[in-house]
């Protein structure tokens, strides 16, 4: 044991141990984040410069990280591996399936202040309000 510091996350401990054994760390001058590997440091810097190196070959979109491009490419292939067990709708991203599942729940925390309707998602309440305004239902 080098010192009495303790850390909640293993990553923070590993980063700290590098200060004891002389290994190099990379600290961002923009936000003071410390990274363990040069490749991660270079990727991180791009978030400050705005440089998006992962370009979609099908459209003009570009991304900071490879995983973002991979996720986006599914929109071009039509791949939707995440399927709802209640209504058979499919989604390209798991987070969208999770959000969708709330419509099957009895929990509807988003209440319209102009009528007695409630919604499982805030976006559905907003759509309801926009429709009501467009149809002059609301004053």
The DSSP call for residue 114 is S
**Would you state the structure tokens that stand for residue 112, as one six-digit string?**
């319209």
Whether the CB-CB separation of 118 and 108 falls below 8 Å is answered with: yes
Q: How confident is the model at residue 1 (pLDDT cuts 50, 70, 90)?
A: low
What pLDDT is recorded for position 126?
Answer: 93
Residue carrying the six token digits 């039509």: 78
What pLDDT is recorded for position 55?
Answer: 95
Give the 3-state secondary structure of residue 102.
helix
Q: How confident is the model at residue 138 (pLDDT cuts 50, 70, 90)?
A: low
What pLDDT is recorded for position 75?
Answer: 87
pLDDT tens digits, 40-92: 898 888 889 888 889 999 999 999 889 999 989 988 998 899 999 999 899 98
Domains recognised in the chain with CATH numbers = 10-49 (3.30.160)
Residues in the chain: 139
């Amino acid at each position: 044991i080098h010192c009495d510091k303790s850390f909640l996350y293993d990553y923070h401990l590993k980063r700290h141990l590098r200060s004891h054994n002389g290994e190099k760390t990379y600290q961002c001058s923009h936000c003071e984040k410390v990274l363990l590997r040069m490749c991660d440091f270079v990727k991180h810097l791009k978030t400050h410069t705005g440089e998006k190196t992962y370009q979609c070959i099908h459209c003009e979109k570009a991304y900071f990280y490879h995983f973002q491009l991979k996720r986006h490419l599914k929109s071009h292939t039509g791949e939707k591996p995440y399927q709802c067990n209640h209504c058979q709708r499919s989604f390209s991203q798991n987070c969208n399936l999770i959000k969708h599942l709330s419509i099957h729940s009895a929990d509807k925390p988003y209440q319209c202040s102009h009528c007695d309707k409630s919604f499982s998602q805030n976006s559905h309440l907003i759509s309801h309000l926009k429709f009501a305004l467009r149809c002059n239902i609301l004053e």
